[in-house]
Structure 1
Amino acid sequence: MGHFDDDNVNLDVLRRRAYNYRWAEVPQGVIPLTSADPDFPVAPQIRDAMAAYIADGYFPYVPPLGLPEFRRAFCQAVHERKGEKIDPSLVLPLDSAARAMQVVARSFLRPGDEMLVFDPCDFLFRTACESAGATPVPVPVPMDPATRRMDLGALEAAVTPHTRMLGLCNPHNPYGLTYTPDDLERIMAICERHDLLILNDEIWSDIIYPDARFASIYSLGNRRCDRVVSVFGFSKSFGLAGLRIGCAYTTNPTLFSSVVEHSDVLSTMGGATSISQVAATAALTSAYGWVDDFLHHLMRNRDHAVDAINAIPGLRAYRPQATYLLYVDVSGTGLGGEDLCDFLVRDARLALIPGGRRFFGDGSEGHVRLCFATSRKIVDEGLDRLRRGIAHLG
């Protein structure tokens, strides 16, 4: 049986363990194409590494700044796959990318400061900013449906004397877009002119389809990136959400020292567990073949789902360049995202994530997000339910 065959999705286990809007939280009989988390078991190399570590029976403290093998493996992986040149001494493992975003925000933002947050964008940028007592400033970045590019024209006008940081989600969630070199140059130039830090989230940077190209902010050169602090996590590429493992990294030792100080790792109150770092190290060193196979499966699901949704009256799906998420315009149904998602759960037994301020910002109103990181069989059943549900609206 292949890793991504229909029979390799164990619904009995998922209904007991998969939380955060997924199988263990939805009513019985509802299909959740919701939270961005794969339905497949993790790569066997990760399970084997965890089992070997557990077999010794010892779980002592790890170094405050993380396992050296994790830090080295991370730097090697991002260099080989993305061309990023990061010193292992400037990588800090933390308990998830979300926690890393919070730590970065608390390291540099204070009450009265402002952070530019793209609208729409993942709500965690806003949440991280608010956790530091600062003010998130939503900046509209509408997408041109014809060119599939974001309009960054409102960014610089949103800068005030209180602006301290800009949040960059690359690739972008929920649009599923990568940034062009010109986009990144424009963003960096604005931050240089106004002396802004950049919180750079690259958690989706492994999920790039062959018909697209990923460019990291680090492609502009490490010297210019001395204002960048980045985060990465292992939930999207490797399915390790429950292990709570991610990291913060930078090219600037001064910024790194501040992140360490605010992470509480030196007091043992913060940090990532030993077994999580072991799993992530195995992922980085041994499981990218699994990720590449996963990407082939995802591309087939992506193309199939986009074509199917665009055949449903009232819906328009955009083919993502990255992520395993579809951003679907539902304005043609006459319902907003929240109302349509409520209807679909009741009428079609299908759960999706609604647009709107709660998850992505006001700019996502009139849209829903659909996750297709599951088997073709489940995707097909979900699409059938979506089709029937929209038909019942008429």
Structure 2
Amino acid sequence: MSLQATGSLFDDSQIRPELLRGRSNIRWGAYPPDVIPLTAAEPDFPAPQAVTDAIMSSLADGYFPYASPEGLSELRETFSAVAKARYGINAGPDCVVLASGTAASLWGVVHLLCQKGDECILLDPVDLLFGQAIDAAGARRVYCPIDKNTGRLDPDRLASLISPRTALICLCNPHNPLGTVFTEETLRAVAHIADARGIPILSDEVWNEIVYPPAAHVSMASLDPATSGRTYTVTGLSKTFALPGLRMGFVIAPSAQEAVNLQLTFQRLGAAYSLTPFAQVGALAALRHGWPWRNAFLEHLHETRDYCVERLNAMPGISCSRPDGTFVLFPDISSTGLSSHAMAGFLLTEARVAVVAGTPEWFGPAAEGNIRISYATSRGMMKEALNRIETAVHRLAPGT
């Protein structure tokens, strides 16, 4: 795909705030029209045309049947082939469980593996979905801190947190919100700890296709048979193909029997019939035909990341690491003298830019002192947002 074609897919003309406000109250529709929302981690761009065409074709006959809980066998077969070719996970279609989104996938795995009173190790900071799933299962959160400056996970620290009640280790790789792509060395160290104690691993890899060279994503389940036999890999299409509203998630279970058990758990949770035939048709089209679009999207994100990091680091009181993956930034704003919550409120009021505060309810106790910014939009939109932020934070600096 040429640079000219890439630009036309992701330039300012593709952003339609009026349409987006009418489609969702999570981002654009949640704020007045003069606010630029950089909150939820979802792209502002239309999805690959092949997905739209496939869904439109499937609707043309006017039939709207239920979907089976197991989903289309063709979709599970295709995803299994993609997982093997792109992620090195040798799991057959009988190990693939379809779910109505990544969040539902996380809930299903946690409820399958955890009982009331169990302990689940999760990273700190990390996206709120892990903690919500653990709480809903009646288990207890045990936080393993990550160095917010380097993104480093210390396996020895993780090992020290394991107790007789530990039922699950939860990873997010690439990591939201830090953007860390964990090295194979780190993953093997975590796998060794889990294997030695017989503890399963939940590896959320929904960001696995948003990784910037020279960084490279390694799937936990690809390391060796012992590790794959304990790992539940969760992923989806929302980040890769701009399809969050399609609600299409995948779980690769360690075995066909564990896949059956997980499917039964989804039925117990009332989530087994949440898939639609149209979402599955769209997912199939994305997995078969969406990769040129994804490649162009990643190129756009790479350039936007570098632009945003440079701009933020030039602002007084703000320090921003360069993520190796995802399309979110987690700048440190502690030197401004404002808390995360206060900074988010300040930027909304003074800059008319919405960001996510680094508060415990969003990302865990260690998130304080940071805000999260999603940059999956056009260069022009990010330039305007950063201009507004820059003007506002300069008013916080002494002597300005």
TM-score normalized by the length of structure 1: 0.96
Q: 2:14 aligns with which of 3, 8, 13?
A: 8
Q: 1:109 aligns with which of 108, 111, 114?
A: 114
Q: Distance in 2 between matches of 1:85 and 1:266?
A: 28
Deviation (angstroms), 1:211? 2.3
Q: 1:353 aligns with which of 331, 335, 356?
A: 356
Give yes or no for contact 2:146–2:152 (8 Å, CA) kept in 1: no
Q: Distance in 2 between matches of 1:144 and 1:351?
A: 23
Q: 1:18 aligns with which of 9, 13, 24?
A: 24
Give yes or no for contact 1:8–1:41 (8 Å, CA) kept in 2: yes
Which amino acid in 2 is paired with 1:237? T
1:388 and 2:387 aligned? no
Deviates most, 210-219 or 121-130? 210-219
Which amino acid in 2 is paired with 1:333? T
Matches within 5 A, 1:186-265: 186-264=189-267
User: For this pair of structures, how many residues does the alignment match?
Assistant: 391
Distance 1:299 1:64, change over 3 A: same
Q: Distance in 1 between matches of 2:217 and 2:145?
A: 23
Which amino acid in 1 is paired with 2:52? R
Matches within 5 A, 1:1-394: 2-20=8-26, 22-145=27-150, 148-264=151-267, 269-394=272-397
Partner secondary structure for residue 62 of structure 2: coil
Give yes or no for contact 1:142–1:363 (8 Å, CA) kept in 2: no
Deviates most, 37-46 or 192-201? 192-201
Deviates most, 80-89 or 365-374? 80-89
Deviates most, 263-272 or 213-222? 263-272
Deviation (angstroms), 1:214? 0.8
Deviation (angstroms), 1:266? 11
In structure 1, the gaps of 5 or more residues are none
Deviates most, 5-14 or 220-229? 220-229
Partner secondary structure for residue 303 of structure 1: helix
- Aligned residues: CA RMSD: 1.6
Deviations 1:188-214 (A, max 9, x none): 111112211111111000101122111
In structure 2, the gaps of 5 or more residues are none
Q: Distance in 1 between matches of 2:175 and 2:162?
A: 21
Partner secondary structure for residue 24 of structure 1: helix
Partner secondary structure for residue 117 of structure 2: coil
Distance 1:277 1:222, change over 3 A: farther
Deviations 1:95-154 (A, max 9, x none): 111001101111111101110011111111111111111111112122444xx5333432
Give yes or no for contact 2:105–2:251 (8 Å, CA) kept in 1: yes
Give yes or no for contact 2:67–2:273 (8 Å, CA) kept in 1: no
Distance 1:270 1:135, change over 3 A: farther
Deviations 1:24-72 (A, max 9, x none): 1012201011110000011100000001100122122333311011111
Partner secondary structure for residue 362 of structure 2: coil
Give yes or no for contact 2:312–2:320 (8 Å, CA) kept in 1: yes
Q: Distance in 1 between matches of 2:268 and 2:89?
A: 25
Distance 1:117 1:91, change over 3 A: same
Q: Distance in 2 between matches of 1:232 and 1:109?
A: 20
Deviations 1:319-341 (A, max 9, x none): 11000011101111011111100
Deviates most, 341-350 or 57-66? 57-66
TM-score normalized by the length of structure 2: 0.94
